[in-house]
Every structure is written in C-alpha cells, then in structure tokens.
C-alpha cells in the first residue's frame, strides 16, 4: 500500500483547492481544480507546474462540487482530460464558470473562453449519488452525500490494497433544503478533510435564524436598507428560504425583498430539477417565492427600507459591490455578512471594523463607511464538532487537514488530541512505516497536517509537515 500526496492549492488557505494523490505508484488522481478570486495573476490557479516537476500525469480528476474555488480552473487545465462530477454539478458548473470568465477576461494570459468552458463540460462523466464506479481493473470510486450545496459529494477511492477519502466541502448539519453529510465506516488509509471552521462550535440552526431575522427587523424598523452579500449558489437559497418562511409572520410583507437576478434565478431553476438531492423539508419547488423578487439595479435608488440578497459574498465585484457603494454612507443601513470572508476582501475589511474601505475598481479609492456591519455564521461548512464526528464515523487510519488556515489547523490538532481519540508523534518529512509518504506533501509556502486516529487496531502517530 502506498499513497503520495502533492498539494497544488488550498494548502494553508481557502481557495483554488487542488490535491493530487498517487495511489500504489500506479494511478495519479486529482481532487478538485479551483480558482482563487483574490488574485489577478498566475496565483489565481493551482500550481500546475508541480506536476511536471514531479513527472506526474493525471489519470482521473474528481470535482466535489460546483463552487469556483473547487472547479474554477477546469477550463484552464482540463482540455485534454476527462473528469467526473455529480449530475447537479455538471448542470450548474457552466453557469458559474461563465460568470467567472466575465470577471477574469481582462487578464488574457490567465483566463478562458466560453468555448473552452463547454469543451471542458462536454468531457464530464457524471456520477450518481452513492454509486460505485470502476475506473480501472483494480480502481473504484464511490460517492457519498456531503450536504454543503446541491450536488456536493465526498469521494472514496479504493484499490485492492489502498484507500483514500476526500471530503471536499461538507456540512454535518441539515438545513432547510439540504441534508447532513453522511459516510460509511470505511476505514480508509487516508482521509483528506476540509478544516474551514474547525476551530468553531456553532449555535443551533434555530438560534442562528432567530438572530438573523432580529437584526434584519431592527434595520428595517429604523428605515434602513439591508444588504446580504451571498454567493449565488448554496447560502443564497438557504437564506432566501428563511426570509420567505418568516416574512409575513414578522408583519413585513409590505417591505420589498429582492435577489439579484440572472445567475441566482437560473441556478434556482436547476435546483428544482434535482429534488432527490434535497431533504424532504425542501421538496416541492421550495424556490417558488411569494415575497422575494428579482432585482434591478435601479431599485437601489428607491426610498424606504428594503432587503437585498446580492452576489458575490466577498463584495469584490458584481451587484453586491455596486449596491454597497451606494448604501455605505447611510448609518441606518445594514450589511449582514452571513459566512466566511476571504482575507483582503471588502467583506473582511468591514468585519475588521474599518471605517475606510479600499476599493480597487474602477479606480483605487478609499470609501468612507457609515453603514452598520453585522456577521452571523450561516456557513455551509461543518464546524469543529461536525468535522470530528465525520472522522469518527469514517474511522480512517490517518487524517489530512486541508482548506483552512495555518493557525486553525494547529488549534484543531490540539483540540482533537484533547478528545482522547488522537495521539501526537514527531515531526517527520520522509516515509511512514506503512509506506504512506509525506515527502511530496509540499506546496511552496503552504503546508498540511496529517494525524492518525487512535483505534483498537491502528498505531498512533501524527505528522505535521511545514516547509
């Protein structure tokens, strides 16, 4: 049994996820191929040059879900490859990729065309949920439900001697339209799991919804406008369902609620096609809204209170960016940030308490901010308890933390050790006795954490590799 891991992206960050695993010195697998929207140069994409440096040719590429930090680099990389995705991901990914293309088209060297998108999508091999698919004579893949967004899956890859689980992004708590992540007790040799919110323990869904609605109600009562920046797929659908459920009960039916049309509207139509991926609470066309209407930019100038869901969640561009500039000067208004804020983004600047925000488009200026800023965790990711629960459920020999920050990974390791299920060992950079090597476990300034689960029949060790 042999597993080598090469990290091309999202090593110590959230963005451009791309993990390469060499199995039994025979098959080279790539998990996700994302883009980092923070950058405008070659750093936007995973470090594909490492493939040639290590003389690796990708045999199979797996996409866990349609978010751009997991699939945005596909048209740039996969013109010569086939790759596998769940059916809803194949349906929704072209919409996001086309939207992404428009945002990055000014950078000719690091962009792609509409034709490249569709050439890429036409190569997709669709995987069904909980399906086991033979990839080669002795190589199989099985998908497991990940929650997170429509079509998100975890992958279990196994041969006769080796196995690895890649979680992608997952949510351990069911919400209004998606169920909780689930995986069998697979006992894989290696589990690669996200760690975005591994240091957090969240309140209950009901408590979060109550706080969310209370803050909206406060702002509207003082005559303010409420801007909720969301990425168009996933959190947008969940929060729209929350507002739709309570709007009339709160006596707010006279106040307009909008979502910016286009991508969200088209994506909602696709959501309706795949009810089997949603839990029963979300069945029956949950996105046929009574109170929420498509938004036109001229509505931003209307007098009086209103609520707007606008993308993207980072406030870096698009409708949310334009509306934020218009509403930022009025202290009655509220921008409610419901999830992760990419470091350096406008959303992150606001959360830091800054009253001067740096804008980079169409020119570099400092914008004075009087708008109220609130943050609530309506994340689509598992928290620390959820991550630990999935690890215990899967029972891997070793766990690799990805898709998170350096400090969070250190804190997560410390927390896990305290639970009595994990044990610490020396820092190493060579080879494990069972041939799981870490010498390819490097990516520039990025790093990874591998630790072993203490089970009845599993030796205990941890490797923390930082170079």
Would residue 435 be called left, alpha or beta, if left means φ above 0 and alpha means ψ between -120 and 50 degrees?
left
Q: For residues 224 and 272, is the Cβ–Cβ distance under 8 A?
A: no
Kindly list the distances between the CA atom of residue 74 and the CA atoms of 35, 40, 48, 149, in Å, as whole numbers in the listed order: 9, 17, 12, 19
Residue 462 has pLDDT above 60, yes or no: no
pLDDT of residue 126: 80
Residue 282 — pLDDT band, cuts 50, 70, 90? very low
pLDDT in tens, 135-180: 988 999 999 999 988 889 999 999 989 999 999 999 998 888 889 9
pLDDT of residue 377: 75
Angle at 346 between CA 341 and CA 350, to 5 degrees: 80
368: helix, coil or strand? Answer: strand
pLDDT of residue 163: 96
Q: Is the dihedral of CA 306, 309, 312, 318 positive or negative?
A: negative
Mean pLDDT calculated for residue range 304-312:
92
The residue among 156, 199, 152, 206 whose CA lies nearest residue 180 is: 152
Q: For residues 292 and 260, is the Cβ–Cβ distance under 8 A?
A: no
**Dist CA 124 CA 380 (whole Å):** 25
Indicate which residues carry an active-site annotation.
194
Q: Where are the beta strands (DSSP E) in 106-151?
A: 124-127, 132-136, 139-145
Indicate the length of the chain as a whole number.
467
Q: For residues 177 and 171, is the Cβ–Cβ distance under 8 A?
A: no
pLDDT of residue 221: 95
**Dist CA 14 CA 176 (whole Å):** 25
Mean pLDDT calculated for residue range 197-212:
86
Residue 301 has pLDDT above 80, yes or no: yes
pLDDT in tens, 425-461: 433 232 222 333 333 333 333 344 666 664 332 222 2
Residue 424 has pLDDT above 80, yes or no: no
The segment with the largest mean pLDDT, out of 131-140, 271-280, 324-333, 336-345, is: 324-333
State the first-to-last Cα distance of the chain, in angstroms, to the nearest integer.
Answer: 26
Which range has the worst mean pLDDT, 113-122, 211-220, 335-344, 366-375?
113-122
Domains located in the chain, CATH noted: 3-200+380-466 (3.60.15.10), 205-375 (3.40.50.10890)
Q: For residues 170 and 151, is the Cβ–Cβ distance under 8 A?
A: no
**Dist CA 331 CA 223 (whole Å):** 10
pTM for the model: 0.78
């Amino acid at each position: 049994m042999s597993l080598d891991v090469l990290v091309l992206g999202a090593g110590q960050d959230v963005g451009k996820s791309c993990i390469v695993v060499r199995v039994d010195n025979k098959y080279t697998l790539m998990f996700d191929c994302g883009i980092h929207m923070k950058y405008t140069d070659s750093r936007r994409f995973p470090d594909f040059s490492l493939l040639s440096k290590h003389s690796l040719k990708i045999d199979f590429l797996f996409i866990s879900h349609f978010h751009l930090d997991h699939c945005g680099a596909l048209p740039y990389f996969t013109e010569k490859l086939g790759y596998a995705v769940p059916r809803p991901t194949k349906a929704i990914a072209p919409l996001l990729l086309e939207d992404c293309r428009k945002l990055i088209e000014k950078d000719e060297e690091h962009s792609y065309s509409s034709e490249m998108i569709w050439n890429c999508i036409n190569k997709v091999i669709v995987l069904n949920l909980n399906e086991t698919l033979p990839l080669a004579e002795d190589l199989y893949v099985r998908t497991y439900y990940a929650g997170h967004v429509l079509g998100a899956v975890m992958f279990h890859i196994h041969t006769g001697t080796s196995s690895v689980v890649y979680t992608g992004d997952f949510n351990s708590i069911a919400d209004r339209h998606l169920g909780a992540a689930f995986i069998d007790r697979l006992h894989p040799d290696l589990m690669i799991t996200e760690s975005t919110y591994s240091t957090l323990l969240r309140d209950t869904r009901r408590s979060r919804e109550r706080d969310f609605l209370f803050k909206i109600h406060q702002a509207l009562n003082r005559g303010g406008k409420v801007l909720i920046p969301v990425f168009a797929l996933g959190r947008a659908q969940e929060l729209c369902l929350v507002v739709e459920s309570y709007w009339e009960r709160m006596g707010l039916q006279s106040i307009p609620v909008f979502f910016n049309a286009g991508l969200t509207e088209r994506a909602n139509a696709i959501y309706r096609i795949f009810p089997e991926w949603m839990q029963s609470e979300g069945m029956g066309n949950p996105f046929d809204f009574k109170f929420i209407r498509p938004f036109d930019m001229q509505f931003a100038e209307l007098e009086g209170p209103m609520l707007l869901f606008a993308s993207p969640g980072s406030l870096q561009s698009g409708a949310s960016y334009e509306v934020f500039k218009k509403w930022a000067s009025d202290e009655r208004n509220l921008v409610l940030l419901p999830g992760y804020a990419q470091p350096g983004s406008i959303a992150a600047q606001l959360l830091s308490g800054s009253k001067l925000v740096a804008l980079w488009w169409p020119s570099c200026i400092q914008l004075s901010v009087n708008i109220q800023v609130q943050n609530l965790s309506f994340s689509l990711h598992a928290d620390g308890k959820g991550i630990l629960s999935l690890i215990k459920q899967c029972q891997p020999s070793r766990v690799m933390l990805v898709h998170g920050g350096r400090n969070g990974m250190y804190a997560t390791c410390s927390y896990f050790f305290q639970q009595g299920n994990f044990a610490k060992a020396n820092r190493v950079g060579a080879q494990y006795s069972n041939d799981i090597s870490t010498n390819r476990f490097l990516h520039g300034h990025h790093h990874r954490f591998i630790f072993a689960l203490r089970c009845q029949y599993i030796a205990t060790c941890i490797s923390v590799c930082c170079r």
